[in-house]
Amino acid sequence: MKTEFGFTFENLKKQYQLALDGGYEFLTCTEYVLRKNNLGPSTVVNRVDIDFSCKKAERLLEIFTELGVKATFFVRLHAPEYNPFSFENYRILKAIRDEGHEIGYHSEIVDQEAIWDEPAEMCLTRDLYVLNSMLGIEVKGVASHGGTTGLNNLDFWKTRDASEFGLLYEAYDESPSFNLFNESFYLSDSEWTQWKCYQKGELVEEDRRSLSEHLADKHPLIYLLIHSDTYFGRHFYE
């Protein structure tokens, strides 16, 4: 099933509005953990990965503020594409924080261990300290970044638990306290020009429908992952 969805900010805003009109409540990842056993009948866990552009994340912030929805924004610390603590990006991240959104860490600790020859545990602990200190927050969750190194940053969590690092969750955590990917309808724009979805951890082949097109299916719990870099105002390369 294909869709004619165009990945503009305006179209994305319409997707969120239609979900709100359909009675869906938007939660951050931490709110999901805290309310997991007391969710409403129609819930979207709203996740944003900032892979390449804090500036585009600011446009998402404007949309979320206008619509009154909250999200978890996952931030990279070592991306070649952006410095989270540059003058402009730091301003944007503080604005995200001040609007009441959750900020999590988009971790690359397996990559760091391989490149720097430093233990992944040390890298994670240090990076959490940096992010917490710079933004005056307490990070509650991490999402492993899928880069192009050929390594899998999720592998670290095969033998470790988020609680060991003072965290509530990793975004694909299978522990009973989270396990969102396996207990939800997961929808992502991670293939850039098309959507993909999973039903309780199983890929739904050839289903490229957007969020609004899935609303008729009345999934009680949707795990929505979007990337700020995927969207544009007039054209893809802006």
What pLDDT, on a 0 to 100 scale, did the predictor assign at position 101? 98
In tens, the pLDDT along 34-69 reads 999 999 999 999 999 999 999 999 999 999 999 999
The model's pTM? 0.96
What pLDDT, on a 0 to 100 scale, did the predictor assign at position 138? 98
- Cβ atoms 202, 183 nearer than 8 A: no
- Secondary structure (DSSP) of the chain: -------BHHHHHHHHHHHHHTTPEEE-HHHHHHHGGG--SSEEEEEEEESS-HHHHHHHHHHHHHHT---EEEE-SS-SS--TTSHHHHHHHHHHHHTT-EEEEEE-HHHHHHHH---HHHHHHHHHHHHHHHHT----EEEE---SSS--GGGGGGS--GGGGT-SEETT--STT--HHHHSEEEE-TTSSS-EEEETTEE-TT----HHHHGGG--SEEEEEEEGGG-BSS-TT-
Domain 9-33+42-230 has CATH 3.20.20: yes
Which sequence spans correspond to the domains of the chain? 9-33+42-230
In tens, the pLDDT along 2-34 reads 566 799 999 999 999 999 999 999 999 999 999
Averages of pLDDT over runs of 10 residues in the chain (238 residues) are: 79 97 98 97 98 96 98 96 96 98 97 95 98 98 86 94 97 96 96 91 95 96 96 86
